[in-house]
């Protein structure tokens, strides 16, 4: 296709993706407001035991409405994700070989699963454990007043950090596939990886709790070790393709 035709196709793919997100947003906004679904209550459920019968408070008149808009937006992105992913795939697929298309689909699925696994770990384990630790600290002279905006900002930051860090195996496999790193290199610098991942986890986790850093670092480093094993298969497949290509060139 000529370059301008590619731009035209890209424009329509983007418009279709935006339309899917808009339709999903209308539905999720109705779900969060008119349907009676307490989306805020669902999000607060992981820390409910540590509120001791209290409720989250808000300090701005339109804060609940803003929060509902944000919640509807996040849910809309989740619902529209299959449509958006298909539009991206439909645009890129003609430029890929049959083998590349077969390899890319499992990688994209694995990336989505790892991202959701990171979010699930943060919501159902990290946040409750952090609240439990905070609850056990001696603060008899203090009275807690957790605002809804602070809680959801914390929840969003933690979920995003966990989801992104869980993409480490995909990054390692991609770098192995294009030849920038090898399994031997990953094994050689294992001690450096321990320190590097620990520092990154300390940076991305909010607060100064070492426990929160370790809760993210342990699964992330476990994924690093798993990546070393899986990268061996990717590395061998790349070497095999290079040998076949070299033999083909010599035959010619």
pLDDT band at 139 (very low <50, low <70, confident <90, very high): low
Is the pLDDT at 133 greater than 80, yes or no? no
Compare 142 and 82 and report the one with higher pLDDT.
82
The number of angstroms, rounded, from the C-alpha of 67 to the middle of its chain's C-alpha atoms is 21
Q: What pLDDT sits at residue 1?
A: 63
Q: What is the DSSP string of 189-243?
A: THHHHHHHHHHHHHHHSSSS-HHHHHHHHHHHHHHHHHHHHHHHHHHHHHHHHHH
What is the value of pTM for the model shown? 0.76
CA dist 222 → 26, 157, 181 (Å): 40, 22, 19
Closest CA to 135 of 239, 52, 43, 37: 52
Mean of all residue pLDDT scores within the chain: 82
- Percent of the chain surpassing pLDDT 90: 6
| Cα–Cα distance measured from residue 172 to residue 229, given in angstroms and rounded to the nearest whole number | 11
Helices (H) and strands (E) in the chain, counts: 10, 0
SS3 category, 147 = strand
Structure tokens at 235: 């590395």
Structure tokens at 206: 């909010």
Query: Mean pLDDT, to the nearest integer, of 63-76?
Result: 86
Per-residue pLDDT tens for 196-227?
988 888 887 766 567 778 888 888 899 899 88
Q: What is the DSSP string of 2-19?
A: -HHHHHHHHHHHHHHHHH
């Amino acid at each position: 296709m000529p370059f301008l035709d590619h731009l035209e196709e890209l424009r329509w793919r983007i418009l279709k993706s935006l339309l899917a997100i808009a339709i999903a947003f209308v539905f999720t906004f109705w779900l969060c407001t008119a349907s009676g679904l307490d989306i805020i209550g669902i999000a607060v459920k992981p820390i409910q035991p540590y509120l001791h019968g209290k409720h989250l408070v808000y300090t701005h008149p339109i804060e609940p409405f803003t929060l509902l808009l944000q919640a509807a937006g996040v849910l809309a992105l989740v619902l529209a994700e299959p449509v958006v992913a298909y539009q991206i795939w439909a645009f890129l697929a003609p430029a890929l070989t049959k083998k590349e298309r077969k390899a890319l689909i499992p990688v994209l699925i694995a990336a989505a699963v790892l991202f959701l696994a990171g979010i699930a770990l943060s919501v159902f384990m990290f946040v409750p454990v952090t609240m439990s630790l905070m609850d056990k600290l001696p603060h008899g002279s203090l009275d807690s007043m957790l605002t809804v905006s602070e809680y959801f900002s914390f929840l969003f930051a933690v979920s995003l950090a966990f989801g992104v860090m869980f993409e480490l195996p995909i990054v390692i496999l991609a770098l192995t596939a294009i030849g920038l790193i090898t399994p031997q290199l990953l094994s050689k610098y294992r001690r450096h990886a321990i320190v590097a991942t620990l520092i990154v986890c300390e940076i991305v986790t909010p607060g100064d709790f070492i426990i929160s850093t370790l809760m993210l670092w342990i699964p992330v480093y476990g994924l690093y070790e798993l990546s070393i094993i899986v990268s061996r298969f990717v590395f061998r497949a790349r070497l095999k393709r290079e040998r076949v290509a070299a033999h083909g060139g010599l035959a010619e």
